[in-house]
């Protein structure tokens, strides 16, 4: 069965995006059973894992090996150089250990395409961990993650058990500590079969055990930014502008007689003043713009087929069908050049491109529409001008030709 979209809506169907965000996201786990074993088969396979582990010369932590009831260290399956020993990895797997492939979306184009689609939805980095677990085995004991995950069952079956929610929406600094955090009572259990999905919010304790079949699943990590991140950025921005935030704490504030001398009361006054200054100075639009620009600037190009795209540039005509590179996230901003002429700045995939301001109507279509004919671009460019613009954007990896 073929699925052309490979995007977020496809991954959670038949649950709608609206229902997911209103009912489940950061609230409770969600399980989708499909009775469609091939649903996620395009993303990764056991053969992919075998090929990657045995032929690509990967290192720790790209490949890791774990087992809930055994202590396995990198010395057990990797050389001193850090490169993994593919023979030892497979031996440990045969003996019941789980193979974990981290960030395999950097190696497999179809998995990369899926993650890029999720980045468009969440405006955040997406990472994957691929778990290949032998029958009747368990990789990790009960724990919680400090990021939300979508679990996509690709092959085999796995029983999942859900426990307590000891830390609601933990930060990255609030990692699970098995010695300090009780897992609580089991509240749910279910078996994921091929084509099934579950969403687990961060902080929800869980574990999973392969049944009588080897299990392959994708754990898709949603590395979202939080309001705490935004407020932290606000403090940093205020400190760069206002010296009151940069002043040292009072001398002796760690001493035992500091409070008795009224030092803490004076600090309370200063602290209240700083909070007021922060509220007065913080600009939400500017903060969001900074976080947005950072995300776009760090989003490196994914341009499969770019060599052929450039090789075919001379064949393009005004009647050619072209479109935006899939899953672009971009910003357009009105600027002026060194001579004072109006230009439009395109920020996308870590690059900044400056083009004449009159190209903006056409640009908005070029970077957003998946397929159109060159001559149909809006604006006042003639056909030659439209062709020049499209060729420039293809060279920059922002568009593709469908010829």
Tens of pLDDT along the chain (403 residues) come to 444 589 999 999 999 999 999 999 999 999 999 999 999 999 999 999 999 999 999 999 999 999 998 999 999 999 999 999 999 999 999 999 999 999 999 999 999 999 999 999 999 999 999 999 999 998 899 999 999 999 999 999 999 999 999 999 999 999 998 888 888 899 999 999 999 999 999 999 999 999 999 999 999 999 999 999 999 999 999 999 999 999 999 999 988 888 877 889 999 999 999 999 999 999 999 999 999 999 999 998 999 999 999 999 999 999 999 999 999 999 999 999 999 999 999 999 989 999 999 999 999 999 999 999 999 999 999 999 999 999 999 999 999 999 7
pLDDT at 4: 55
Q: 176 in a domain, yes or no?
A: yes
pLDDT at 260: 78
Looking at the fold, whether 279 and 311 belong to one and the same domain comes out as no
The residue whose two tokens read 């395409």 is 113
Looking at the fold, whether 235 and 192 belong to one and the same domain comes out as no
| CATH assignment at residue 342 | 3.90.930.40
Looking at the fold, whether 248 and 184 belong to one and the same domain comes out as no
Looking at the fold, whether 314 and 337 belong to one and the same domain comes out as yes
CB 45 within 8 A of CB 38: no
Looking at the fold, whether 102 and 244 belong to one and the same domain comes out as no
Count of alpha carbons within 13 Å of 30, Cβ hemisphere only? 24
CB 373 within 8 A of CB 320: yes
Looking at the fold, whether 238 and 354 belong to one and the same domain comes out as no
Q: How far is Cα 216 from Cα 229, in angstroms, rounded to an integer? A: 34
What angle do helix axes 227-241 and 263-281 make, rounded to 10 degrees? 100
Q: How far is Cα 359 from Cα 357, in angstroms, rounded to an integer? A: 5
CB 398 within 8 A of CB 367: yes
SS3 16: coil
Angle at 31 between CA 27 and CA 34, to 5 degrees: 150
What angle do helix axes 46-55 and 86-94 make, rounded to 10 degrees? 140
> Any idea how long the chain is?
403
The residue whose two tokens read 């859900």 is 162
SS3 351: strand
pLDDT at 99: 97
Q: Are strands 215-223 and 330-336 parallel, antiparallel or unpaired?
A: unpaired
pLDDT at 258: 85
What angle do helix axes 284-297 and 227-241 make, rounded to 10 degrees? 110
Q: Is the pTM of this model over 0.85?
A: yes
Radius of gyration of the chain (CA): 26
pLDDT at 224: 96
Q: Which of 158, 164, 151, 159 is nearest to 205 (CA)?
A: 164
Looking at the fold, whether 158 and 59 belong to one and the same domain comes out as yes
pLDDT at 181: 83
Domain end residue (candidates: 223, 241, 272) = 223
* Number of helices and strands in the chain (H, E): 11, 16
Domain end residue (candidates: 165, 200, 223) = 223
Looking at the fold, whether 197 and 102 belong to one and the same domain comes out as yes
pLDDT at 1: 41
Looking at the fold, whether 201 and 333 belong to one and the same domain comes out as no
Q: Which of 352, 362, 350 is nearest to 386 (CA)?
A: 362
Q: 152 in a domain, yes or no?
A: yes
pLDDT at 259: 84
Domain limits at 263?
Answer: 227-292
pLDDT at 2: 46
Q: 357 in a domain, yes or no?
A: yes
pLDDT at 3: 46
- Report the number of distinct structural domains present in the chain: 3
């Amino acid at each position: 069965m073929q699925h052309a979209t490979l995007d977020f809506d496809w991954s959670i169907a038949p649950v709608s995006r609206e229902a997911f965000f209103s009912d489940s996201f950061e609230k409770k786990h969600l399980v989708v059973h499909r009775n469609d074993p091939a649903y996620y088969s395009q993303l990764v396979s056991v053969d992919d894992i075998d090929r990657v582990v045995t032929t690509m010369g990967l290192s720790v932590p790209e490949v890791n090996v774990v087992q809930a009831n055994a202590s396995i260290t990198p010395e057990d399956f990797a050389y001193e150089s850090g490169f993994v020993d593919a023979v030892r990895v497979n031996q440990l797997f045969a003996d019941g250990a789980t193979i974990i492939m981290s960030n395999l979306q950097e190696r497999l184009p179809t998995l990369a395409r899926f993650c890029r689609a999720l980045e468009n939805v969440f405006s955040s980095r997406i990472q994957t961990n691929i778990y290949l677990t032998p029958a009747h085995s368990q990789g990790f004991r009960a724990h919680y993650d400090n990021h939300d995950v979508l679990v996509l069952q690709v092959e085999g079956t796995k029983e999942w058990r859900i426990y307590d929610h000891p830390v609601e929406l933990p930060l990255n600094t609030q990692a699970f500590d098995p010695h300090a955090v009780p897992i609580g009572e089991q509240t749910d259990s279910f078996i994921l079969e091929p084509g099934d999905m579950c969403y687990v919010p961060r902080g929800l304790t869980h574990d999973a055990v392969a049944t009588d079949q080897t299990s392959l699943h994708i754990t898709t990590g949603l590395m979202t930014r939080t309001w705490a991140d935004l407020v932290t950025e606000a403090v940093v921005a205020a400190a760069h502008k206002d010296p009151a935030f940069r002043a040292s704490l009072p001398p002796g504030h760690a001493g035992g007689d500091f409070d008795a001398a009224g030092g803490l009361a004076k600090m309370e006054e200063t602290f209240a003043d700083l909070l007021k200054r922060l509220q007065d100075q913080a600009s939400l639009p500017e903060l969001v713009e900074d976080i947005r620009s950072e995300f776009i600037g760090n989003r490196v190009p994914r341009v499969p087929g770019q060599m052929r795209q450039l090789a075919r540039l001379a064949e393009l005509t005004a009647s050619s069908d072209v479109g935006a590179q899939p899953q672009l996230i971009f910003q357009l901003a009105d600027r002026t050049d060194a001579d004072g002429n109006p230009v439009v700045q395109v920020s996308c995939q870590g690059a900044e491109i400056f083009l004449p301001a009159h190209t903006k109507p056409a640009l908005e279509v070029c970077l957003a529409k998946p397929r159109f004919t060159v001559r149909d671009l809006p604006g006042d460019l003639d056909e030659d001008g439209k062709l020049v613009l499209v060729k420039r954007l293809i060279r920059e990896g922002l568009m593709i030709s469908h010829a």
